[in-house]
Amino acid sequence: MDAGEKAALVSADLLGLSRESVERIRNEASEKTGIEPQSMIIACTHTHSGPATVNLRRLGEVDQEYLKVLERKIVDSIVQASENMDEARIAVGRGSVRGIGFNREKRPDGPLDEELGVIRIENLEGEVRCVVLNYTCHPVVLGPRNLLVSADYPGVVSRTVEERLANCCLFTTGADGDIDPLVNLEAWGEGTFKDVEEIGRKIGDEAIKVAGNLKGVPEVRIGSLQKVLELPVEPPPKLEDAIKEAESAKERLRTLKTEGSEPGRVRVAEAMVEWAEDVLKHLREGTFPKVMPVEVTLIGINEILLIAIPGELFVEIGLKIKRRSPFKYTYLVGYGNGEVGYFPTAEALKRGGYAAKMAPKYFGVTFLKPKAERVLEDGILTLAHELHNELWKKR
């Protein structure tokens, strides 16, 4: 919390990064800059139109050579930023952008978070050097038929702001685990580049309007906290049930191949076989996980709180954290410092569905218990109050 403390925020137009990648990046960047690893958030926007950068069963093979180059470039960006720091002022405000997303778990009238968080960083002459944004909607406007690399709508947001206001715009994705763009309401994956442009410019225009009316302050209190929360998971299945599950998965794969099914369905079936075999391996070796460790990182800057969540937090949890936070401006940074899967509400976990019962199979072998929501929410808020007290007990 002392004067001179530094923190780093990175936003990359990628699906996500593994905990191992994040650790390598933070450790090397820390050695070169002196910034503590716990004071770094390495976030991804979660575009689905980027290269494979995190291991998901049968959902793209990670090119290790590319990954090495990527990690080095992220480290270099942190080092360059650290070496080129200058005096600045910071301001924060909020806007609202409606008509972008819908709640895919509780359609059509489920909860949304349509707040646009705007952080403005300017030099002492008042020139805007950087704008940091936070908005809650999955960057999946472009569907699986698109084979071009794209930052999806966050890329257009950043470009819009950089063309008209700031040298740099960092977009961070909020608690969007159950929030999809409206273009997917009737049929998933039908979005076009025209839709990407329209959505991105709508958010970018609001960001410019909000940022343009902010005035920065030179006084800065900054601090960070980090903790691994242990979320409860469902108990392992019985061995005989796991064997039946594996046999069933293999039979379904054989059937699909015999019928000449499309490659996408075959890949999903292959992933389910791999998952079932992984479950069996853990059961036989006695290594089935008892909890899901989830690292959360909090960076506080004056009355701004950034909370890095390594995955896809459901919007209702994000809204509750915002309401209960001691900070005036609280932003959930999804896909921050890792990507370990979905964090649904207790209600959603009881109900089942893709995020609760299907998606976890791509990441590991466990399923969260409904009480995981409360453990995660309470754990984050405890840290938020601790950090707020540390920042404001001085002076």
CA dist 319 and 271 (Å) reads: 33
289-302 residue pLDDT tens: 999 999 999 999 99
Cα first-last separation, the chain: 12
Please tell me what DSSP assigns to residue 258.
H
108: preceding bond cis by omega (within 30 degrees): yes
Q: Report the candidate in 149, 139, 154, 155 with the shortest Cα–Cα distance to residue 191.
A: 139
**In this structure, how many other beta carbons lie within 10 angstroms of the beta carbon of residue 24?**
18
Provide the pLDDT for residue 394: 57
Sign of CA dihedral 4, 31, 307, 297: negative
Can you give the pTM of this predicted structure? Answer: 0.95
53-88 residue pLDDT tens: 998 887 888 999 999 999 999 999 999 999 999 999
Whether residue 209 is predicted with pLDDT greater than 90 in this model: the reply is: yes
**284: which 2 tokens?**
């036989």
Whether residue 307 is predicted with pLDDT greater than 50 in this model: the reply is: yes
What distances in angstroms separate CA 377 from CA 18, 299, 319, one per listed residue? 22, 17, 10
121-152 residue pLDDT tens: 999 999 999 999 999 999 999 988 899 999 99
Parallel/antiparallel/unpaired status of strands 89-96 and 115-122: antiparallel
Provide the pLDDT for residue 3: 38
CA dist 225 and 285 (Å) reads: 35
Q: How confident is the model at residue 206 (pLDDT cuts 50, 70, 90)?
A: very high
For 220, phi and psi rounded to 5 degrees?
-135, 130
**73: which 2 tokens?**
């470039």
Write down the mean pLDDT value for the chain. 95
Q: How confident is the model at residue 1 (pLDDT cuts 50, 70, 90)?
A: very low
Residues in the chain: 395
298: left (phi over 0), alpha (psi -120 to 50) or beta: beta
Sign of CA dihedral 280, 281, 286, 291: negative
Using an 8 Å Cβ cutoff, are 30 and 100 in contact? no
222-273 residue pLDDT tens: 999 999 999 999 999 999 999 999 999 999 999 999 999 998 899 999 999 9
Percent of the chain whose pLDDT exceeds 90: 92
Q: How confident is the model at residue 2 (pLDDT cuts 50, 70, 90)?
A: very low
Percent of the chain whose pLDDT exceeds 70: 98
What distances in angstroms separate CA 140 from CA 250, 295, 370, one per listed residue? 31, 25, 27
Using an 8 Å Cβ cutoff, are 301 and 274 in contact? no
Provide the pLDDT for residue 17: 97
What distances in angstroms separate CA 314 from CA 106, 108, 156, 356, one per listed residue? 11, 16, 24, 11
CA dist 375 and 382 (Å) reads: 10
Using an 8 Å Cβ cutoff, are 363 and 19 in contact? no
